[in-house]
Protein backbone atom coordinates (compact mmCIF):
# COMPACT_ATOMS: atom_id res chain seq x y z
CA UNK A 1 0.00 0.00 0.00
CA UNK A 2 1.25 3.46 -0.98
CA UNK A 3 0.03 6.63 0.73
CA UNK A 4 -0.14 10.26 -0.43
CA UNK A 5 -2.29 13.21 0.58
CA UNK A 6 -3.52 13.68 -2.99
CA UNK A 7 -3.51 11.46 -6.06
CA UNK A 8 -3.89 12.99 -9.53
CA UNK A 9 -5.09 10.47 -12.11
CA UNK A 10 -3.76 11.64 -15.48
CA UNK A 11 -0.58 13.44 -16.46
CA UNK A 12 -1.71 15.87 -19.16
CA UNK A 13 -1.98 19.64 -18.79
CA UNK A 14 -4.91 19.60 -16.35
CA UNK A 15 -3.25 16.97 -14.18
CA UNK A 16 0.13 18.68 -14.22
CA UNK A 17 -1.38 22.06 -13.38
CA UNK A 18 -3.46 20.50 -10.59
CA UNK A 19 -0.38 18.84 -9.12
CA UNK A 20 1.61 22.08 -9.25
CA UNK A 21 -1.29 23.93 -7.62
CA UNK A 22 -1.44 21.45 -4.74
CA UNK A 23 2.25 20.73 -4.30
CA UNK A 24 3.23 23.63 -2.04
CA UNK A 25 1.27 22.36 0.94
CA UNK A 26 0.45 18.71 0.22
CA UNK A 27 2.16 15.42 -0.54
CA UNK A 28 0.92 14.83 -4.06
CA UNK A 29 1.61 12.24 -6.73
CA UNK A 30 0.53 11.76 -10.35
CA UNK A 31 -0.54 8.36 -11.65
CA UNK A 32 -0.45 8.33 -15.44
CA UNK A 33 -0.59 5.75 -18.20
CA UNK A 34 2.12 7.56 -20.17
CA UNK A 35 4.86 9.95 -19.17
CA UNK A 36 3.42 13.49 -18.91
CA UNK A 37 5.37 14.82 -21.92
CA UNK A 38 3.73 12.11 -24.07
CA UNK A 39 0.19 12.99 -23.02
CA UNK A 40 -2.48 13.89 -25.58
CA UNK A 41 -2.35 17.54 -24.44
CA UNK A 42 0.72 17.88 -26.66
CA UNK A 43 -1.48 17.42 -29.73
CA UNK A 44 -3.26 20.75 -29.13
CA UNK A 45 -2.04 23.00 -31.90
CA UNK A 46 -3.81 26.28 -32.41
CA UNK A 47 -3.64 28.26 -29.19
CA UNK A 48 -5.02 29.36 -25.84
CA UNK A 49 -7.46 32.23 -25.36
CA UNK A 50 -6.98 35.26 -23.12
CA UNK A 51 -7.84 38.94 -23.07
CA UNK A 52 -4.39 40.55 -23.07
CA UNK A 53 -4.97 43.27 -25.68
CA UNK A 54 -6.37 46.59 -24.43
CA UNK A 55 -8.77 46.66 -27.40
CA UNK A 56 -10.35 43.39 -26.24
CA UNK A 57 -12.55 42.91 -23.16
CA UNK A 58 -13.37 40.25 -20.60
CA UNK A 59 -17.07 40.72 -21.27
CA UNK A 60 -16.55 40.11 -24.99
CA UNK A 61 -14.65 36.84 -24.35
CA UNK A 62 -17.30 35.83 -21.83
CA UNK A 63 -20.17 36.52 -24.25
CA UNK A 64 -18.41 34.73 -27.12
CA UNK A 65 -18.00 31.68 -24.87
CA UNK A 66 -21.65 31.72 -23.77
CA UNK A 67 -22.91 32.25 -27.30
CA UNK A 68 -20.58 29.60 -28.61
CA UNK A 69 -21.96 27.14 -26.04
CA UNK A 70 -25.45 27.75 -27.47
CA UNK A 71 -26.34 28.98 -23.99
CA UNK A 72 -25.87 25.60 -22.32
CA UNK A 73 -22.75 26.59 -20.37
CA UNK A 74 -23.00 27.74 -16.76
CA UNK A 75 -22.24 31.41 -17.05
CA UNK A 76 -20.53 31.66 -13.66
CA UNK A 77 -18.05 28.97 -14.79
CA UNK A 78 -17.51 30.71 -18.13
CA UNK A 79 -16.87 34.00 -16.36
CA UNK A 80 -14.22 32.45 -14.12
CA UNK A 81 -12.60 30.89 -17.19
CA UNK A 82 -12.19 34.20 -18.99
CA UNK A 83 -11.46 36.42 -15.96
CA UNK A 84 -8.63 34.20 -14.73
CA UNK A 85 -7.20 33.67 -18.23
CA UNK A 86 -4.81 36.68 -18.40
CA UNK A 87 -3.10 35.89 -15.07
CA UNK A 88 -2.64 32.26 -16.08
CA UNK A 89 -1.23 33.15 -19.49
CA UNK A 90 1.33 35.49 -18.00
CA UNK A 91 2.19 32.96 -15.32
CA UNK A 92 3.00 30.17 -17.76
CA UNK A 93 4.86 32.71 -19.92
CA UNK A 94 7.01 33.66 -16.92
CA UNK A 95 7.58 29.96 -16.25
CA UNK A 96 9.08 29.72 -19.73
CA UNK A 97 6.34 28.90 -22.26
CA UNK A 98 7.50 29.99 -25.71
CA UNK A 99 4.82 32.03 -27.49
CA UNK A 100 4.99 33.51 -30.97
CA UNK A 101 5.57 37.26 -30.81
CA UNK A 102 4.41 40.42 -32.50
CA UNK A 103 6.95 42.88 -33.94
CA UNK A 104 6.90 44.79 -30.64
CA UNK A 105 7.60 41.66 -28.60
CA UNK A 106 4.15 41.01 -27.18
CA UNK A 107 2.48 37.59 -27.20
CA UNK A 108 1.00 37.11 -30.67
CA UNK A 109 -2.72 36.38 -31.01
CA UNK A 110 -4.68 35.00 -33.96
CA UNK A 111 -8.39 34.87 -34.84
CA UNK A 112 -10.28 31.68 -33.96
CA UNK A 113 -13.78 30.48 -34.77
CA UNK A 114 -16.81 32.06 -33.13
CA UNK A 115 -14.85 34.90 -31.52
CA UNK A 116 -15.22 38.64 -31.93
CA UNK A 117 -11.52 39.45 -31.42
CA UNK A 118 -8.23 37.71 -32.31
CA UNK A 119 -7.46 36.63 -28.71
CA UNK A 120 -5.91 33.19 -29.25
CA UNK A 121 -2.31 33.21 -27.99
CA UNK A 122 -0.13 30.71 -29.82
CA UNK A 123 3.29 29.22 -30.26
CA UNK A 124 3.28 28.50 -34.00
CA UNK A 125 1.03 25.42 -34.22
CA UNK A 126 2.59 23.60 -31.24
CA UNK A 127 0.95 25.49 -28.38
CA UNK A 128 -0.10 22.47 -26.33
CA UNK A 129 3.31 20.87 -26.72
CA UNK A 130 5.10 24.03 -25.58
CA UNK A 131 2.91 24.45 -22.48
CA UNK A 132 3.33 20.74 -21.73
CA UNK A 133 7.12 21.07 -21.66
CA UNK A 134 6.88 24.11 -19.40
CA UNK A 135 4.63 22.39 -16.86
CA UNK A 136 6.82 19.29 -16.89
CA UNK A 137 9.73 21.51 -15.83
CA UNK A 138 7.56 22.76 -12.97
CA UNK A 139 6.83 19.18 -11.91
CA UNK A 140 10.57 18.59 -11.65
CA UNK A 141 11.10 21.88 -9.84
CA UNK A 142 8.50 20.93 -7.21
CA UNK A 143 9.81 17.34 -7.04
CA UNK A 144 6.36 15.89 -7.68
CA UNK A 145 6.23 12.10 -7.65
CA UNK A 146 5.10 10.55 -10.95
CA UNK A 147 4.00 6.94 -11.31
CA UNK A 148 4.07 6.62 -15.10
CA UNK A 149 2.94 3.58 -17.05
CA UNK A 150 0.45 2.88 -14.27
CA UNK A 151 -3.25 2.37 -15.05
CA UNK A 152 -5.91 3.15 -12.42
CA UNK A 153 -8.61 0.48 -12.52
CA UNK A 154 -10.76 1.61 -9.60
CA UNK A 155 -11.46 4.69 -7.48
CA UNK A 156 -12.21 3.44 -3.97
CA UNK A 157 -15.15 5.23 -2.34
CA UNK A 158 -16.73 4.12 0.96
CA UNK A 159 -19.80 5.84 2.42
CA UNK A 160 -19.51 8.60 -0.16
CA UNK A 161 -15.91 9.47 0.80
CA UNK A 162 -12.92 8.78 -1.44
CA UNK A 163 -10.27 6.49 0.07
CA UNK A 164 -7.79 6.11 -2.79
CA UNK A 165 -7.35 4.04 -5.93
CA UNK A 166 -6.28 0.64 -7.18
CA UNK A 167 -3.69 0.82 -9.96
CA UNK A 168 -1.91 -1.59 -12.29
CA UNK A 169 1.85 -1.08 -12.53
CA UNK A 170 2.62 -2.27 -16.06
CA UNK A 171 6.35 -2.88 -15.61
CA UNK A 172 5.97 -5.22 -12.61
CA UNK A 173 2.52 -6.58 -13.43
CA UNK A 174 1.39 -5.85 -9.87
CA UNK A 175 -1.86 -4.28 -8.69
CA UNK A 176 -1.26 -1.75 -5.93
CA UNK A 177 -3.53 0.10 -3.53
CA UNK A 178 -2.83 3.82 -3.26
CA UNK A 179 -4.37 5.50 -0.23
CA UNK A 180 -5.16 9.20 -0.34
CA UNK A 181 -7.23 11.92 1.29
CA UNK A 182 -8.37 13.24 -2.08
CA UNK A 183 -8.27 12.23 -5.72
CA UNK A 184 -8.22 14.56 -8.75
CA UNK A 185 -9.35 12.99 -12.05
CA UNK A 186 -7.74 14.58 -15.13
CA UNK A 187 -7.77 11.78 -17.71
CA UNK A 188 -8.97 13.60 -20.84
CA UNK A 189 -11.70 12.79 -23.35
CA UNK A 190 -13.36 9.80 -24.97
CA UNK A 191 -13.02 10.38 -28.72
CA UNK A 192 -11.94 6.78 -29.31
CA UNK A 193 -15.57 5.70 -29.27
CA UNK A 194 -15.69 7.05 -32.86
CA UNK A 195 -14.15 5.66 -36.01
CA UNK A 196 -12.46 8.89 -37.15
CA UNK A 197 -11.02 10.96 -34.31
CA UNK A 198 -8.25 13.40 -33.54
CA UNK A 199 -7.82 11.76 -30.13
CA UNK A 200 -4.83 9.67 -29.11
CA UNK A 201 -5.32 5.95 -28.51
CA UNK A 202 -5.36 6.55 -24.74
CA UNK A 203 -8.43 8.83 -24.95
CA UNK A 204 -10.93 6.16 -23.92
CA UNK A 205 -12.79 8.05 -21.22
CA UNK A 206 -11.32 5.97 -18.39
CA UNK A 207 -11.52 8.65 -15.70
CA UNK A 208 -15.14 9.46 -16.51
CA UNK A 209 -16.15 5.80 -16.31
CA UNK A 210 -14.16 5.24 -13.10
CA UNK A 211 -15.81 8.26 -11.46
CA UNK A 212 -19.25 7.16 -12.66
CA UNK A 213 -18.78 3.67 -11.20
CA UNK A 214 -17.58 5.25 -7.94
CA UNK A 215 -20.80 7.27 -7.64
CA UNK A 216 -20.15 10.57 -9.44
CA UNK A 217 -22.52 12.04 -12.03
CA UNK A 218 -21.62 12.66 -15.66
CA UNK A 219 -23.01 15.84 -17.22
CA UNK A 220 -24.00 16.66 -20.83
CA UNK A 221 -22.24 13.66 -22.37
CA UNK A 222 -24.36 13.93 -25.52
CA UNK A 223 -22.45 17.12 -26.41
CA UNK A 224 -19.50 15.77 -28.39
CA UNK A 225 -17.57 18.16 -30.62
CA UNK A 226 -16.43 17.30 -34.12
CA UNK A 227 -13.50 19.41 -35.25
CA UNK A 228 -14.15 20.61 -38.81
CA UNK A 229 -10.71 19.82 -40.18
CA UNK A 230 -9.21 16.43 -39.57
CA UNK A 231 -6.94 14.87 -42.18
CA UNK A 232 -9.02 12.75 -44.53
CA UNK A 233 -9.42 9.18 -43.18
CA UNK A 234 -6.72 9.73 -40.56
CA UNK A 235 -8.67 12.12 -38.34
CA UNK A 236 -5.41 13.80 -37.29
CA UNK A 237 -6.02 17.39 -36.26
CA UNK A 238 -5.42 20.16 -38.78
CA UNK A 239 -5.35 23.21 -36.55
CA UNK A 240 -8.04 25.86 -36.52
CA UNK A 241 -5.04 28.14 -36.75
CA UNK A 242 -5.05 27.35 -40.49
CA UNK A 243 -8.37 29.12 -40.84
CA UNK A 244 -7.28 31.74 -38.33
CA UNK A 245 -4.40 32.57 -40.64
CA UNK A 246 -6.77 32.91 -43.59
CA UNK A 247 -7.28 29.39 -45.00
CA UNK A 248 -10.21 28.72 -47.32
CA UNK A 249 -12.65 25.80 -47.23
CA UNK A 250 -13.57 24.67 -50.75
CA UNK A 251 -16.05 22.15 -52.09
CA UNK A 252 -16.19 20.68 -55.57
CA UNK A 253 -18.73 22.53 -57.68
CA UNK A 254 -16.82 23.01 -60.92
CA UNK A 255 -13.81 23.92 -58.82
CA UNK A 256 -10.72 25.11 -60.69
CA UNK A 257 -7.79 25.28 -58.28
CA UNK A 258 -5.84 27.45 -60.70
CA UNK A 259 -8.52 30.13 -60.90
CA UNK A 260 -8.82 32.72 -58.09
CA UNK A 261 -12.36 33.45 -59.26
CA UNK A 262 -13.34 29.78 -59.04
CA UNK A 263 -11.74 29.44 -55.61
CA UNK A 264 -13.66 32.41 -54.23
CA UNK A 265 -16.88 31.11 -55.78
CA UNK A 266 -16.43 27.74 -54.07
CA UNK A 267 -15.81 29.01 -50.53
CA UNK A 268 -18.99 27.33 -49.38
CA UNK A 269 -19.04 28.80 -45.85
CA UNK A 270 -20.62 31.93 -47.30
CA UNK A 271 -23.85 29.89 -47.44
CA UNK A 272 -23.72 28.90 -43.78
CA UNK A 273 -21.92 31.70 -41.91
CA UNK A 274 -21.86 34.73 -44.23
CA UNK A 275 -20.22 37.02 -41.65
CA UNK A 276 -17.66 34.68 -40.08
CA UNK A 277 -17.11 32.38 -43.10
CA UNK A 278 -14.39 29.83 -42.22
CA UNK A 279 -14.20 31.30 -38.71
CA UNK A 280 -17.65 30.24 -37.69
CA UNK A 281 -17.97 28.09 -34.54
CA UNK A 282 -16.82 24.50 -34.85
CA UNK A 283 -20.24 22.88 -34.69
CA UNK A 284 -21.54 25.04 -37.54
CA UNK A 285 -18.44 24.56 -39.72
CA UNK A 286 -18.46 20.78 -39.17
CA UNK A 287 -22.12 20.52 -40.14
CA UNK A 288 -21.49 22.70 -43.18
CA UNK A 289 -18.63 20.48 -44.39
CA UNK A 290 -20.66 17.33 -43.85
CA UNK A 291 -23.66 18.86 -45.64
CA UNK A 292 -21.48 19.61 -48.66
CA UNK A 293 -20.27 15.99 -48.61
CA UNK A 294 -23.64 14.25 -48.21
CA UNK A 295 -25.18 16.49 -50.88
CA UNK A 296 -22.54 15.33 -53.36
CA UNK A 297 -20.20 18.31 -53.33
CA UNK A 298 -17.20 16.58 -51.76
CA UNK A 299 -14.03 16.71 -53.82
CA UNK A 300 -14.57 14.40 -56.81
CA UNK A 301 -17.64 13.03 -55.04
CA UNK A 302 -15.56 11.72 -52.11
CA UNK A 303 -15.93 12.25 -48.35
CA UNK A 304 -13.72 15.30 -47.98
CA UNK A 305 -13.42 18.97 -48.90
CA UNK A 306 -10.31 21.06 -49.40
CA UNK A 307 -8.60 23.36 -46.92
CA UNK A 308 -6.55 25.69 -49.10
CA UNK A 309 -3.54 27.48 -47.58
CA UNK A 310 -1.57 28.14 -50.75
CA UNK A 311 -2.40 31.85 -50.88
CA UNK A 312 -1.01 32.30 -47.34
CA UNK A 313 2.46 31.73 -48.70
CA UNK A 314 5.41 29.55 -47.80
CA UNK A 315 6.93 32.03 -45.32
CA UNK A 316 3.84 32.26 -43.11
CA UNK A 317 3.11 28.52 -43.34
CA UNK A 318 6.65 27.65 -42.27
CA UNK A 319 6.59 30.24 -39.49
CA UNK A 320 3.12 29.67 -38.06
CA UNK A 321 1.93 26.25 -39.28
CA UNK A 322 5.05 24.07 -39.60
CA UNK A 323 3.56 21.07 -37.79
CA UNK A 324 0.46 21.07 -39.98
CA UNK A 325 2.71 20.93 -43.05
CA UNK A 326 4.74 18.09 -41.56
CA UNK A 327 1.61 16.07 -40.72
CA UNK A 328 0.17 16.59 -44.19
CA UNK A 329 3.40 15.47 -45.84
CA UNK A 330 3.76 12.41 -43.62
CA UNK A 331 0.19 11.14 -43.57
CA UNK A 332 -1.49 12.15 -46.84
CA UNK A 333 1.49 13.10 -49.03
CA UNK A 334 0.31 16.67 -49.55
CA UNK A 335 2.43 19.81 -49.22
CA UNK A 336 0.08 22.66 -48.14
CA UNK A 337 2.46 25.18 -49.69
CA UNK A 338 1.68 23.73 -53.13
CA UNK A 339 -1.62 21.85 -52.81
CA UNK A 340 -4.88 22.04 -50.82
CA UNK A 341 -5.37 19.67 -47.86
CA UNK A 342 -8.13 17.00 -47.94
CA UNK A 343 -10.10 17.35 -44.69
CA UNK A 344 -13.22 15.97 -43.07
CA UNK A 345 -14.79 16.46 -39.61
CA UNK A 346 -13.20 14.36 -36.86
CA UNK A 347 -14.46 13.46 -33.37
CA UNK A 348 -12.48 15.83 -31.23
CA UNK A 349 -13.65 17.01 -27.81
CA UNK A 350 -15.95 15.78 -25.04
CA UNK A 351 -17.82 18.83 -23.75
CA UNK A 352 -19.49 16.69 -21.09
CA UNK A 353 -17.77 14.84 -18.27
CA UNK A 354 -17.61 14.44 -14.51
CA UNK A 355 -19.96 16.98 -12.99
CA UNK A 356 -18.07 19.48 -10.81
CA UNK A 357 -18.52 22.91 -9.33
CA UNK A 358 -16.21 25.80 -10.22
CA UNK A 359 -13.64 24.54 -7.70
CA UNK A 360 -13.40 21.14 -9.35
CA UNK A 361 -15.37 19.45 -6.55
CA UNK A 362 -17.61 16.47 -7.30
CA UNK A 363 -20.85 17.08 -5.36
CA UNK A 364 -21.56 13.36 -5.06
CA UNK A 365 -18.22 12.15 -3.66
CA UNK A 366 -16.42 13.84 -0.79
CA UNK A 367 -12.73 14.29 -1.55
CA UNK A 368 -13.01 13.76 -5.30
CA UNK A 369 -12.13 16.51 -7.78
CA UNK A 370 -11.87 16.65 -11.58
CA UNK A 371 -10.48 19.03 -14.19
CA UNK A 372 -9.83 19.29 -17.91
CA UNK A 373 -11.65 17.47 -20.66
CA UNK A 374 -12.82 14.61 -18.42
CA UNK A 375 -14.64 17.13 -16.21
CA UNK A 376 -17.73 19.22 -16.87
CA UNK A 377 -17.63 22.42 -14.86
CA UNK A 378 -19.74 23.48 -17.84
CA UNK A 379 -17.79 26.36 -19.27
CA UNK A 380 -18.29 24.96 -22.82
CA UNK A 381 -21.95 23.92 -22.83
CA UNK A 382 -23.03 22.38 -26.13
CA UNK A 383 -20.09 23.69 -28.18
CA UNK A 384 -16.56 24.70 -27.21
CA UNK A 385 -14.71 27.61 -28.75
CA UNK A 386 -11.29 26.77 -30.11
CA UNK A 387 -8.59 27.99 -27.71
CA UNK A 388 -10.79 27.54 -24.62
CA UNK A 389 -9.78 23.91 -23.98
CA UNK A 390 -6.12 24.61 -23.21
CA UNK A 391 -7.36 27.51 -21.11
CA UNK A 392 -9.70 25.21 -19.18
CA UNK A 393 -6.86 22.81 -18.32
CA UNK A 394 -4.81 25.65 -16.82
CA UNK A 395 -7.55 27.64 -15.07
CA UNK A 396 -9.54 24.75 -13.62
CA UNK A 397 -6.53 22.48 -13.20
CA UNK A 398 -5.06 25.15 -10.92
CA UNK A 399 -8.34 25.63 -9.05
CA UNK A 400 -8.91 21.90 -8.52
CA UNK A 401 -5.36 21.39 -7.25
CA UNK A 402 -5.56 24.27 -4.80
CA UNK A 403 -8.94 23.18 -3.48
CA UNK A 404 -7.90 19.54 -3.19
CA UNK A 405 -4.95 20.73 -1.12
CA UNK A 406 -7.26 22.74 1.17
CA UNK A 407 -9.42 19.65 1.59
CA UNK A 408 -6.43 17.42 2.36
CA UNK A 409 -5.12 19.83 5.00
CA UNK A 410 -8.39 19.72 6.94
CA UNK A 411 -9.19 16.00 6.65
CA UNK A 412 -7.50 12.88 7.92
CA UNK A 413 -6.75 9.72 5.96
CA UNK A 414 -9.66 7.30 6.00
CA UNK A 415 -9.38 3.53 6.09
CA UNK A 416 -8.74 1.73 2.81
CA UNK A 417 -10.52 -1.61 3.34
CA UNK A 418 -8.54 -4.60 2.07
CA UNK A 419 -11.78 -6.09 0.77
CA UNK A 420 -11.95 -3.27 -1.80
CA UNK A 421 -8.52 -4.20 -3.11
CA UNK A 422 -9.34 -7.92 -3.11
CA UNK A 423 -12.63 -7.38 -4.96
CA UNK A 424 -10.84 -5.45 -7.69
CA UNK A 425 -8.13 -8.08 -8.01
CA UNK A 426 -10.79 -10.78 -8.27
CA UNK A 427 -12.50 -8.80 -11.04
CA UNK A 428 -9.25 -8.53 -13.00
CA UNK A 429 -8.52 -12.23 -12.56
CA UNK A 430 -11.99 -13.16 -13.83
CA UNK A 431 -11.40 -10.99 -16.86
CA UNK A 432 -8.04 -12.62 -17.56
CA UNK A 433 -9.41 -16.12 -17.07
CA UNK A 434 -12.45 -15.57 -19.26
CA UNK A 435 -12.35 -17.99 -22.18
CA UNK A 436 -14.95 -16.52 -24.49
CA UNK A 437 -15.06 -16.19 -28.26
CA UNK A 438 -15.30 -12.39 -28.60
CA UNK A 439 -12.30 -10.17 -29.33
CA UNK A 440 -11.68 -6.74 -27.89
CA UNK A 441 -10.74 -5.32 -31.30
CA UNK A 442 -13.85 -6.74 -32.95
CA UNK A 443 -16.26 -5.25 -30.42
CA UNK A 444 -14.39 -1.93 -30.43
CA UNK A 445 -14.64 -1.68 -34.23
CA UNK A 446 -18.38 -2.37 -34.15
CA UNK A 447 -18.83 0.22 -31.39
CA UNK A 448 -16.98 2.86 -33.38
CA UNK A 449 -19.07 2.14 -36.47
CA UNK A 450 -22.32 2.34 -34.46
CA UNK A 451 -21.38 5.64 -32.84
CA UNK A 452 -20.14 7.21 -36.07
CA UNK A 453 -23.33 6.34 -37.93
CA UNK A 454 -25.84 6.67 -35.11
CA UNK A 455 -24.59 9.47 -32.86
CA UNK A 456 -22.46 11.57 -35.19
CA UNK A 457 -22.68 15.06 -36.61
CA UNK A 458 -26.33 14.63 -37.65
CA UNK A 459 -28.69 12.62 -35.45
CA UNK A 460 -32.28 11.45 -35.51
CA UNK A 461 -34.45 9.16 -33.42
CA UNK A 462 -34.37 6.09 -35.64
CA UNK A 463 -30.60 5.90 -36.15
CA UNK A 464 -29.92 6.70 -32.49
CA UNK A 465 -32.29 3.95 -31.38
CA UNK A 466 -30.40 1.48 -33.55
CA UNK A 467 -27.12 2.70 -32.06
CA UNK A 468 -28.42 2.25 -28.51
CA UNK A 469 -29.59 -1.28 -29.29
CA UNK A 470 -26.20 -2.07 -30.81
CA UNK A 471 -24.27 -0.68 -27.85
CA UNK A 472 -26.34 -2.76 -25.44
CA UNK A 473 -25.77 -5.84 -27.58
CA UNK A 474 -22.02 -5.16 -27.52
CA UNK A 475 -22.10 -4.74 -23.73
CA UNK A 476 -23.58 -8.23 -23.48
CA UNK A 477 -21.03 -9.64 -25.88
CA UNK A 478 -18.25 -8.00 -23.86
CA UNK A 479 -18.96 -10.53 -21.11
CA UNK A 480 -17.72 -13.20 -23.51
CA UNK A 481 -14.37 -11.64 -24.49
CA UNK A 482 -11.11 -13.55 -24.58
CA UNK A 483 -7.88 -11.83 -23.50
CA UNK A 484 -5.16 -13.82 -25.22
CA UNK A 485 -2.28 -12.56 -23.06
CA UNK A 486 -2.74 -14.15 -19.64
CA UNK A 487 0.41 -12.62 -18.18
CA UNK A 488 0.75 -9.57 -16.00
CA UNK A 489 3.78 -7.60 -17.21
CA UNK A 490 2.90 -4.92 -19.80
CA UNK A 491 -0.35 -6.68 -20.62
CA UNK A 492 -1.70 -4.35 -23.28
CA UNK A 493 -4.49 -6.83 -24.06
CA UNK A 494 -5.79 -6.40 -20.52
CA UNK A 495 -5.55 -2.62 -20.74
CA UNK A 496 -7.42 -2.72 -24.06
CA UNK A 497 -10.20 -4.75 -22.47
CA UNK A 498 -10.53 -2.30 -19.58
CA UNK A 499 -10.59 0.61 -22.05
CA UNK A 500 -13.31 -1.07 -24.08
CA UNK A 501 -15.50 -1.57 -21.01
CA UNK A 502 -15.21 2.14 -20.27
CA UNK A 503 -15.99 3.12 -23.86
CA UNK A 504 -19.10 0.93 -23.88
CA UNK A 505 -20.36 2.50 -20.65
CA UNK A 506 -19.80 6.03 -21.95
CA UNK A 507 -21.17 5.33 -25.43
CA UNK A 508 -24.51 4.26 -23.96
CA UNK A 509 -24.69 7.47 -21.92
CA UNK A 510 -23.86 9.60 -24.98
CA UNK A 511 -26.42 7.81 -27.14
CA UNK A 512 -29.25 7.77 -24.58
CA UNK A 513 -28.61 11.39 -23.63
CA UNK A 514 -28.71 12.40 -27.30
CA UNK A 515 -31.85 10.33 -27.91
CA UNK A 516 -33.59 12.00 -24.97
CA UNK A 517 -32.60 15.60 -25.85
CA UNK A 518 -35.29 16.41 -28.39
CA UNK A 519 -33.82 19.60 -29.80
CA UNK A 520 -30.75 20.84 -31.65
CA UNK A 521 -28.18 22.79 -29.64
CA UNK A 522 -24.52 23.35 -30.49
CA UNK A 523 -22.79 20.13 -31.49
CA UNK A 524 -25.94 18.12 -30.74
CA UNK A 525 -27.90 18.42 -34.00
CA UNK A 526 -31.06 16.43 -34.70
CA UNK A 527 -32.62 16.30 -38.15
CA UNK A 528 -36.00 15.51 -36.57
CA UNK A 529 -35.76 18.41 -34.08
CA UNK A 530 -33.71 21.01 -35.99
CA UNK A 531 -34.38 23.95 -33.65
CA UNK A 532 -33.21 24.87 -30.16
CA UNK A 533 -35.95 24.55 -27.54
CA UNK A 534 -35.14 26.72 -24.53
CA UNK A 535 -38.55 26.13 -22.95
CA UNK A 536 -37.96 22.40 -22.55
CA UNK A 537 -34.23 21.81 -22.95
CA UNK A 538 -32.30 24.70 -21.46
CA UNK A 539 -30.98 22.26 -18.87
CA UNK A 540 -28.07 19.92 -18.21
CA UNK A 541 -28.29 16.15 -18.57
CA UNK A 542 -26.96 14.18 -15.58
CA UNK A 543 -26.23 10.44 -15.80
CA UNK A 544 -25.70 8.31 -12.70
CA UNK A 545 -25.08 4.65 -11.93
CA UNK A 546 -27.65 2.95 -9.70
CA UNK A 547 -28.18 -0.70 -8.69
CA UNK A 548 -30.97 -0.76 -11.30
CA UNK A 549 -28.73 0.64 -14.03
CA UNK A 550 -28.23 4.08 -15.55
CA UNK A 551 -30.49 6.89 -14.34
CA UNK A 552 -30.84 10.24 -16.09
CA UNK A 553 -31.73 13.48 -14.34
CA UNK A 554 -31.74 17.13 -15.35
CA UNK A 555 -30.38 20.29 -13.79
CA UNK A 556 -30.94 23.95 -14.58
CA UNK A 557 -28.31 26.04 -16.36
CA UNK A 558 -26.76 28.91 -14.39
CA UNK A 559 -27.61 32.09 -16.29
CA UNK A 560 -26.07 35.15 -14.66
CA UNK A 561 -25.88 37.84 -17.35
CA UNK A 562 -26.60 36.83 -20.95
CA UNK A 563 -30.14 35.81 -21.76
CA UNK A 564 -30.46 33.22 -24.54
CA UNK A 565 -30.94 34.65 -28.01
CA UNK A 566 -30.80 33.37 -31.55
CA UNK A 567 -27.28 32.29 -32.43
CA UNK A 568 -26.10 33.79 -35.72
CA UNK A 569 -22.68 34.08 -37.34
The three-state (H, E, C) secondary structure of 226-294, written as one string: EEEEEECCCCCECCCHHHHCCCEEECCCCCCCCCHHHHHHCECHHHHCCCCHHHCCHHHHHHHHHHHHH
Structurally, at CATH architecture level, domain 421-537 sits in Up-down Bundle (1.20)
Under the banding of pLDDT at 50, 70 and 90, the label for residue 248 is very high
- The pLDDT of residue 254 is 81
Q: Is the pLDDT of residue 148 over 80?
A: yes
Residue 263's Cβ-side half-sphere holds a number of Cα atoms within 13 Å equal to: 15
Under the banding of pLDDT at 50, 70 and 90, the label for residue 96 is very high
Rounded to an integer, the average pLDDT of 274-286 is 96
- The pLDDT of residue 548 is 87
Judge: domain 2-64+81-180+357-369+385-418, CATH 3.40.50.10140: no
- The pLDDT of residue 152 is 98
Rounded to an integer, the average pLDDT of 76-85 is 98
pLDDT digits (tens, 9 = 90+) for 515-552: 999 999 999 999 999 999 999 999 999 999 998 889 99
Beta-bridge mates of residue 540: 555
Main-chain dihedrals φ then ψ at residue 69, nearest 5 degrees: -75, -5
Between residues 252 and 369, the one the model is more confident about: 369
Q: Is the pLDDT of residue 75 over 80?
A: yes
What is the C-alpha separation between 492 and 510, in angstroms, rounded?
26
What is the C-alpha separation between 545 and 77, in angstroms, rounded?
25
Q: Is the pLDDT of residue 448 over 80?
A: yes
Question: Which of 129, 243, 297, 532 is the catalytic position?
Answer: 243
**In 3D, which of 62, 32, 26, 61 has the Cα closest to residue 372?**
32
Distance of CA 248 to the CA centre of its chain: 26
pLDDT digits (tens, 9 = 90+) for 204-227: 999 999 999 999 999 999 999 999
- The pLDDT of residue 25 is 83
Is residue 540 annotated as part of the catalytic site, yes or no? no
Under the banding of pLDDT at 50, 70 and 90, the label for residue 498 is very high
Is residue 81 within 8 A of residue 65, CB to CB? The reply is: yes
Q: Is the pLDDT of residue 561 over 80?
A: yes
Q: What is the mean pLDDT of the chain?
A: 96
Q: Is the pLDDT of residue 253 over 80?
A: no
Is residue 243 annotated as part of the catalytic site, yes or no? yes
Rounded to an integer, the average pLDDT of 473-493 is 96
Fold of 228-345: Flavocytochrome C3; Chain A, domain 1 (3.90.700)
What number of helices (H) and strands (E) belong to the chain? 18, 19
Question: Which of 40, 61, 110, 227 is the catalytic position?
Answer: 227
| 3-class SS letters over 142-176 | CCCEEEECEEEEEEEEECCEEEEEEEEECCCCEEE
Q: Is the pLDDT of residue 328 over 80?
A: yes
Tell me the percentage of the chain whose pLDDT exceeds 70: 100
Is residue 18 within 8 A of residue 371, CB to CB? The reply is: yes
Rounded to an integer, the average pLDDT of 107-132 is 96
Q: Is the pLDDT of residue 240 over 80?
A: yes
**In 3D, which of 478, 376, 348, 380 has the Cα closest to residue 73?**
380
pLDDT digits (tens, 9 = 90+) for 15-68: 999 999 999 888 999 999 999 999 999 999 999 999 999 999 999 999 999 999
Would you list the domain boundaries of the chain?
2-64+81-180+357-369+385-418, 228-345, 421-537
Q: Kindly provide the residue ranges of all beta strands, DSSP E only, lying in 390-546, ordered along the sequence.
A: 539-546
Look at strands 48-49 and 120-121 and give their pairing.
antiparallel
**In 3D, which of 134, 217, 75, 162 has the Cα closest to residue 404?**
162
- The pLDDT of residue 24 is 84
Alpha helices in 297-417 (DSSP H): 314-320, 322-332, 388-410
Tell me the percentage of the chain whose pLDDT exceeds 90: 98
Q: Write out the DSSP string of 390-415.
A: HHHHHHHHHHHHHHHHHHHHHSPPPP
Amino acid sequence: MITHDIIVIGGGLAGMRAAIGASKESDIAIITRTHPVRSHSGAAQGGINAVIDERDSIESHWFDTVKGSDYLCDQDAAEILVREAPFNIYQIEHWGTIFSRTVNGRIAQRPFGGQSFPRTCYGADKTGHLILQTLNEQLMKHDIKIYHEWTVTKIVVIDGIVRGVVAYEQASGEFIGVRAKSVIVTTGGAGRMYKVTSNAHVCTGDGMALALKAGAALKDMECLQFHPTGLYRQGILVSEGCRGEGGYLLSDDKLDLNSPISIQANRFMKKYAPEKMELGPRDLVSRSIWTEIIEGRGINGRDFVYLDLRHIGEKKIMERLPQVRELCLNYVGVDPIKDPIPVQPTAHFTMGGISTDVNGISPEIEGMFAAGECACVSCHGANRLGGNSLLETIVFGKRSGENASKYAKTHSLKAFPTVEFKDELDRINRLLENDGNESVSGIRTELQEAMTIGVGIFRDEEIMKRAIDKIRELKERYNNINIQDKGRVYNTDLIGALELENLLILAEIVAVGAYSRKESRGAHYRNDYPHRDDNKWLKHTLAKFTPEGLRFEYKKVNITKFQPQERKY
